[in-house]
């Protein structure tokens, strides 16, 4: 258990240690130690190209780290050691672009449940579509939706399988303020109602401030500072954090 500013955080769900990721001799990620706790909204902020999305792909077990490991739910993910399917399925991810399949909205949301051979799909999909406010579009072809609607379908599709962890990779980067606010409300609800751990990657510090319980700044693949949201924004320890928050950072 860990207490930050009065809020009680659960046990760590992820423990990352000595993690590195290199693409063609270019080291894009180097994280010595990081813990993400059950049930929290953890936000990773940083400029484009800082390694945020790479980190998410490692947390989703889609790519192996070169060195180091990710502990998840008692299992170790490292070079050459895949995460077992049943554990991998406890984590889902929403990308910056909605990446919907060329099917109906309903079929898109059902997708993850079908992969898992779930029988109770109808009830869960109905509830999920209700949660994102898109019940009326269930039969519509997914690729005809607006950007905001599509991203809400993408969220419904990721949460319908009731994951332990929901990874969000800049989910509102392409959206207008109204849809940004809708998506943020949904993310908050998912976290509150289902106790889903949320790892959000964004370059938008204001979004981090609105949503996060803890925030980390990543620059050139390295974590510069991790702190609870109030400390991060009001009393950061590293001057680079101050510069990033104030928009004064020169990359």
Partner 1 sequence: MISELQDIIFLSLRVSGTALLCSTAIGIPLGMFFGLKRFIGRRLLTALLFTGMGFPPVVVGLFVYLLLSRSGPLGQLDWAWLPSLFTPSAMILAQTIIAFPLVAGFTMAAVMGVDPQIRQQVLALGATSRQAAVTVLLEAKVGVVVAIIAGFGRLIAEVGAVMLVGGNIEGRTRVLTTAIVLETRQGNFDLAIALGAVLLTITFLTNFALIRLQGRSFDQ
The residues that touch partner 1, with contacts defined as CB under 8 A, are: 57, 60, 62, 85, 88-89, 91-93, 95, 97, 99, 101-102, 111-112, 115-116, 141, 143, 157-158, 161, 167
The burial class, CB within 10 Å (0-12 / 13-18 / 19+), for 199 is: buried
CB of 46 or CB of 112, closer to partner 1 = 112
Return d(Cα 115, Cα 178) in angstroms, integer: 33
CB of 56 or CB of 226, closer to partner 1 = 56
Q: Cβ 95 to partner 1, closest distance in Å?
A: 6
Residues 6 or more apart from 177 whose CB is under 8 A from it? none
- Helix, strand, coil tally for the chain in percent (to 5): 35, 30, 35
CB of 33 or CB of 116, closer to partner 1 = 116
CB of 104 or CB of 242, closer to partner 1 = 104
Q: Cβ 110 to partner 1, closest distance in Å?
A: 11
CB of 200 or CB of 215, closer to partner 1 = 200
CB of 25 or CB of 139, closer to partner 1 = 139
Residues 6 or more apart from 94 whose CB is under 8 A from it? 151, 154, 155, 158, 166, 167, 168, 169, 171
Return d(Cα 184, Cα 209) in angstroms, integer: 11
CB of 118 or CB of 184, closer to partner 1 = 118
Specify the 3-state DSSP secondary structure of 43.
Answer: strand
Tokens (6 digits) for 132 = 């994102």
Q: Cβ 135 to partner 1, closest distance in Å?
A: 21
Q: Cβ 164 to partner 1, closest distance in Å?
A: 12
Q: Cβ 214 to partner 1, closest distance in Å?
A: 23
Q: Which helix (H) or strand (E) holds 200?
A: strand 197-202
Q: Cβ 210 to partner 1, closest distance in Å?
A: 25
Return d(Cα 34, Cα 138) in angstroms, integer: 40
Q: Cβ 47 to partner 1, closest distance in Å?
A: 21
């Amino acid at each position: 258990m860990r207490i930050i500013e009065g809020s009680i955080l659960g046990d760590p769900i992820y423990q990352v240690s000595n993690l590195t990721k290199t693409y063609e001799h270019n080291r894009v990620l180097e994280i010595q130690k990081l813990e993400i706790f059950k049930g929290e909204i953890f936000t990773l902020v940083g400029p484009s190209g800082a390694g945020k999305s790479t980190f998410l792909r490692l947390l989703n077990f889609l790519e192996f780290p070169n060195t180091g490991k990710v502990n998840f739910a008692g299992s170790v993910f490292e070079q050459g050691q895949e995460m077992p399917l049943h554990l991998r399925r406890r984590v889902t991810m929403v990308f910056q672009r909605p990446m919907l399949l060329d099917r109906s909205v309903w079929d898109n949301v059902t997708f993850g449940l079908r992969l898992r051979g779930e029988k109770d799909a109808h009830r869960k999909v109905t509830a999920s579509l209700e949660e994102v406010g898109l019940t009326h579009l269930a039969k519509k072809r997914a690729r005809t939706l607006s950007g905001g609607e599509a991203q809400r379908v993408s969220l419904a599709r990721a949460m319908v399988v009731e994951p332990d962890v929901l990874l969000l990779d800049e989910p509102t980067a392409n959206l207008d303020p109204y849809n940004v606010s809708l998506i943020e409300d949904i993310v908050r609800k998912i976290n509150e109602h289902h106790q889903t751990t949320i790892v959000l990657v964004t370059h938008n510090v204001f979004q981090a401030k609105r949503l996060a319980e803890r925030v980390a700044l990543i620059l050139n693949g390295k974590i510069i500072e991790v702190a609870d949201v109030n400390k991060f924004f009001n009393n950061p320890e590293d001057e680079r954090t101050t510069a990033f928050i104030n928009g004064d950072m020169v990359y």
